[in-house]
Chains A and B, each alone.
Chain A
Amino acid sequence: DVKVTQSSRYLVKRTGEKVFLECVQDMDHENMFWYRQDPGLGLRLIYFSYDVKMKEKGDIPEGYSVSREKKERFSLILESASTNQTSMYLCASSLFPKWDKGPFYGYTFGSGTRLTVV
């Protein structure tokens, strides 16, 4: 069964700590994404990557950075955690349609990491 695996289901960190959220996919997907999910706000894109060592800012990149050293792994880094970063973090991957044709195939999501910053 193909999957996206997030390293932690629950994390509690202190304000100011550097936090690493890890995500691994086994589907050989080109694209990987980090979203945060907050009640009433839906999913908001933080960063995405379309290739190794490539990254693009999403809608809410402030306070975050990412790393993609290998195709299967995409890490989200909170440089100095703050309480407003308490949230559910979702990693996802997707294929890039071949020959620039066809619709977006859709995301495969991990189970999420619920981060609490105290």
Chain B
Amino acid sequence: TQLLEQSPQFLSIQEGENLTVYCNSSSVFSSLQWYRQEPGEGPVLLVTVVTGGEVKKLKRLTFQFGDARKDSSLHITAAQPGDTGLYLCAGGVGLSGQNFVFGPGTRLSVLP
């Protein structure tokens, strides 16, 4: 069974600070995704990474897939209150989505 761990579980920071959250597994994934979930809503896909060592940027968010495709990180530069939410990573193999597993998430709170 594939398992994903995320750290930290909770993070509270001031507006303008930088942060990094992590997603780790002992399994190799063919692709890994990051989602953000705001209170009362479903998760929204932020990015998909598929190649070991791949780095993708989405405005102030930088995503990296580990060389061995077992881990990933999300770095936020100059965090804003709008970044507040639950960040979920999901990794899997295959093409149809049924083999994806989700981590428990990192709950981020950015204070003004």
Chain A residues in the interface with B (C-beta under 8 A)? 4, 9, 31, 33, 35, 40-45, 48, 50, 56, 58, 90, 92, 94, 96-97, 100, 102-112
Chain A residue nearest to B4 in the complex (CB): A42
Across-interface contacts of A33 in B (CB, < 8 A) = 97-98
Interface residues of B in 28-82 (CB under 8 A from A): 30-31, 33, 35, 40-45, 48, 50
With A40-B104, A43-B88, A92-B42: A107-B95 Cβ-Cβ less than 8 Å: no
Q: B40 CB to closest chain A CB, in angstroms? A: 7
Across-interface contacts of A4 in B (CB, < 8 A) = 42
A-B contact count (CB 8 A): 75
User: Is A106 touching B45 in the complex (CB atoms < 8 A)?
Assistant: yes
Residue A104 contacts which of B35, B40, B41, B97 (CB distance < 8 angstroms)? B97
Chain B residue nearest to A109 in the complex (CB): B42
